[in-house]
Structure 1
Amino acid sequence: MPLSKLEVSVEINCPVSKVIAFVDDNENDPMWQTSVLQSEKRTEGAPAVGTIYHVKEKFLGRVIEQDWMVTERNADGSFWKAKSTTGPFPIATSMKFESKGNSTLIHRTLSIDVGRFFKVASPVVGHIAQRELEMDFANLKELLEAEA
């Protein structure tokens, strides 16, 4: 059963170029994304359409591994979309970075279809995923503003 599209936004008191550079570096993922245990870029070069990442995550007590592919990306990295290509259930996500003077507004969407993978109702999974997204953005804000 597909979940409703989840959305979260945050404004970070940091220039957009610095925020994009930090998020683009997948080695930073475990520092700000609560579920990510490990993130490995499997494609050479800068992030672009077709870039593949292998991610090991923990969600609802289970460790899952998935490959992600970037499906759309602006040249400056201010907007991108990605989808899972392997793993227990399909996920699609997008991130948009908008300059607000000396700060950056980030908006993320996430769509998950947990199917029969979890034995709890989809609304429960959706609530937990929404809470994780909000915590992720709070972590990202704290990390980047501490360095500013």
Structure 2
Amino acid sequence: MFTITERIDIGKDREEVFAFLTDPANRARWDASVVSEELLTPPPVKEGSAIRTRMSVMGRPIAFDWRVTEFQAPRAMAATTTSGTMPTSLRFTFAEQDGWCRVTATIEASPAGMLRLVEPIVAQTASSTLAAGLARARELLESDSSST
């Protein structure tokens, strides 16, 4: 099992950052590994919602289904996989800081089978992908062209 945490400060208020990062329709915009993400249950996203994420990792298509386990707008959102290549949980927290927002994202994953043999590579890939995604989210949110 591995745990990774990435933090980023975004020059927008917490409500706007929370709304953008927790909307499945925006995920492919800020996370380059995501091909699409869709809400499988009726909107809006809330605790108990189901989400499907289709990704491309090292050129291979992967799909994860998630169950939202925590949704406390605009403070936190968490989800756990219900299907996919490895059991994974993801938690975002959003802290208001005088007109800007500190986002902390934590991923816990338990590679199994052959993935266990390359767990350090999987963890490093997840960490760099998450960091790049959060940087892209900041760029989108802080630019004039962002829309949530």
Cα gap change, 1:16/1:77 in structure 2, threshold over 3 Å: closer, same or farther? closer
Task: Select between 59-68 and 83-92 the one with higher mean Cα deviation.
Answer: 59-68
Q: After superposition, where does 1:11-90 map in structure 2 within 5 Å?
A: 11-74=9-72, 76-90=73-87
Paired amino acid for 2:107: L
Q: How many residue pairs were aligned?
A: 145
TM normalised by structure 1 equals: 0.92
Aligned residues with identical type, % of pairs: 24
Task: Report the RMSD for the aligned CA atoms in angstroms.
Answer: 1.5
**Does 2:122 align with 1:125?**
yes
Paired amino acid for 2:29: M
Cα gap change, 1:119/1:111 in structure 2, threshold over 3 Å: closer, same or farther? closer
Give ranges in structure 2 of 5+ residues lacking alignment: none
- Post-superposition CA distance 1:19-70 (Å, at most 9, x none): 1111122111001012110111011122111000011011133211111110
- Post-superposition CA distance 1:81-140 (Å, at most 9, x none): 100101121110100001111100000000111212538521111111111111011101
TM normalised by structure 2 equals: 0.92
Paired amino acid for 2:66: W
Give ranges in structure 1 of 5+ residues lacking alignment: none
